[in-house]
């Protein structure tokens, strides 16, 4: 099948990406969070007080982008930055109480999106799809790392 055909893997994958993006935006707008912020909230929820460098590496985002993202989140009252007491060159990032509350709301949004996407899949189908998508991810990571 030609990849330009509507039901080719490429076109289906592209359509899924667009639909997921639209649904995510719609739900996150209600919470007042930008689509790039949930991974940051998750990373800080898992381990509060990470350095900006650690967050950039973990989220695979450029340090300059992390700085802009954190500034926006700081203005919204979701995070705060504090100098590391042992090394003043390091800025550590912490979720505020409001950030913790927003994280709980974002977690609910993720559950809704997950259900929207996979509610009519059997457990076996979900396991297979997960394995296949991980393989796609690994393929893309491999070619991206070759640059």
The per-residue pLDDT for range 63-108, each reduced to its tens digit, is 899 999 999 999 999 999 999 888 888 989 999 999 999 999 999 9
Please state, in angstroms and as integers, the Cα–Cα distance from residue 104 to each residue in 28, 36, 42, 95, following that order.
12, 16, 10, 12
What is the average pLDDT score of the chain?
93
Token pair in block for residue 70: 């954190």
Residue 109: closest CA among 21, 42, 24: 24
**Lowest-confidence range among 2-11, 20-29, 60-69?**
2-11
pTM of the model: 0.83
Residue 114 Cα to chain centre, angstroms = 13
Name the helix (H) or strand (E) containing 83: strand 79-83
CATH 1.10.10.10 assigned to domain 9-145? The reply is: yes
| pLDDT class of 145 with cuts at 50, 70, 90 | confident
Q: Where are the domains of the chain?
A: 9-145
Is residue 10's pLDDT more than 80?
yes
């Amino acid at each position: 099948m030609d990849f330009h055909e509507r039901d080719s893997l490429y076109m289906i994958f592209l359509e899924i990406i667009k639909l997921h993006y639209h649904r995510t935006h719609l739900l996150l707008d209600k919470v007042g969070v930008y689509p790039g912020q949930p991974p940051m909230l998750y990373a800080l929820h898992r381990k509060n007080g990470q350095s900006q460098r650690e967050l950039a590496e973990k989220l695979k985002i450029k340090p300059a982008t992390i700085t802009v993202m954190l500034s926006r989140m700081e203005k919204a009252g979701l995070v705060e930055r504090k100098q590391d007491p042992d090394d003043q060159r390091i800025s550590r990032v912490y979720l505020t109480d409001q950030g913790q509350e927003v994280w709980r709301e974002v977690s609910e949004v993720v559950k809704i999106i997950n259900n929207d996407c996979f509610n009519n899949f059997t457990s076996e189908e979900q396991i297979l799809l997960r394995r296949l998508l991980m393989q796609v991810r690994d393929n893309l990571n491999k070619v991206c790392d070759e640059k």
